[in-house]
Structure 1
Amino acid sequence: MGIIKNIEEIKKISKVKSIENENFFEVFRDFNEELKKSYDKPVKNFYQQLTKIIDCRECGNCCRDIIIVFEKDDIPLLSKGIGKSEKEIVEKDFIFYEKHQVYIMNQSPCKFLKGNECSIYPFRGTECREFPYIETKEFSKIYNYVFQGYSICPFHFNIVEFVKNLSVDNLKIN
């Protein structure tokens, strides 16, 4: 299977492969840390290849299907970008989640999504800037999020397919 970008096709395939993915996730979860870490470099390299093929700004599916989170430090930038007071923004558009000290958007899809594009792209929150997380975090630390995003994100979908096809024998364990 080649690289798949079309989110509707990804959703169809994810339904067909749900049991296969669940089984693989359970096996991967039980790998020792050294073996999990051996996937980090190949996944990072594959991700770099994917960035030449997939453009998040053409999809926007994460903005429809994932809870939108803004960190406290994101609110001043958003306020400046959209010309509203921080107080007005948090009271109107977010719910404060005390446990994690973050703001969660009170509607879905994201109110700033216009078509498939983010209308506040330069002012988007940290979580949005870092998604799909592969660039800033090691796969061995976030594999559970990547598997959860299989049906939502073309990056996550293609990375899971890539990982399932990697042979443990061909991985270099440091």
Structure 2
Amino acid sequence: MYPIDKLREEAALKAPEWIAYYKKNRKRLMKMNRELLSLHEEASNEIDCLQCGNCCRHLGPRILERDIDTLAKALRIKPAAFIDAYLRIDEDRDWVFSAESCPFLGEDNYCAVYKDRPKACRDYPHTDRKKFHQIYALSVKNASFCPIVFRVLEQLKGL
């Protein structure tokens, strides 16, 4: 397990270092896609998401219209019924799940809609993304929830 309180505490302590690293290495980061992908793969191979589930419990993914259609179809309900049952509009005017914890997360950390999960869930934790430098600030925030992001940011300082 990856206790959320401990991860948040450690990430809060490390955040100033990560931000300083970014400010000093911003241009270099723009050219590090291959190195970042390697760090992502290494961390992903060592950390079992099914032992964690913090992202599903504490981060509300943005739900796109196509996600609504896909999930409604998978659940064999109309998109409007899916929206009524599971979604709300957040302060950024995006669709997100009504509850903080994903309604499709099982006690065993398995996703009941895994093959039809939203794009934001498929792409998470974004540490394998090209142009990672564009979402670096978001990654610093995500390190409070995700041990993979935490590890990638820590390893990145050593490159």
Q: Please give the TM-score of this superposition, normalised by the length of structure 2.
A: 0.85
Higher-Rg member (1/2): 1
| Residues 1:45 and 1:32: Cα distance change in structure 2 (over 3 Å) | closer
Paired position in structure 1 for 2:147:
154
Q: 1:126 to 1:112 in 2, by over 3 A?
A: same
Superposed counterparts of 1:90-169, under 5 Å: 90-97=83-90, 102-115=94-107, 116-166=109-159
The structure 1 residue matched to 2:47, chosen from 30, 42, 54, is 54
- Poorly superposed stretches of 4+, deviation over 6 Å: none
Percent same amino acid at aligned positions?
Answer: 24
**Structure 2 Cα separation of the partners of residues 55 and 17 of structure 1:** 19
CA distance in 2, matches of 1:109, 1:13: 18
User: Residues 56-89 of structure 1, C-alpha deviation per residue, up to 9 Å, x if partnerless?
Assistant: 2342210111013210111111011111111101
Which secondary structure does the structure 1 equivalent of 2:45 belong to? coil
Q: 1:158 to 1:16 in 2, by over 3 A?
A: closer
Aligned CA distance change for structure 1 residues 62 and 75 (closer, same or farther; 3 Å): same
After superposition, the CA RMSD in angstroms is 2.3
For the residue of structure 1 that corresponds to 2:46, the secondary structure is: coil
Match 1:15 to one of 9, 13, 16 = 9
Cα–Cα, structure 1 residues 155 and 64, in superposed 2: closer, same or farther, change >3 Å?
A: same
Provide structure 1 residue ranges, at least 5 long, that are not aligned to the other structure: 1-5, 167-174
Q: Which amino acid aligns with 1:60?
A: G
Q: Distance in 2 between matches of 1:13 and 1:79?
A: 34
Q: Secondary structure at the match of 1:114?
A: coil
Show structure 2 runs of 5+ residues with no match: none
In the aligned structure 2, how far is the partner of 1:152 from the partner of 1:91?
28
Q: Tell me which amino acid in the other structure corresponds to 1:103.
A: W
How far off its partner does 1:34 sit?
1.9
More helix by share: 2
User: CA, structure 1 residues 153+163, in 2 after alignment: closer, same or farther (shift >3 Å)?
Assistant: same
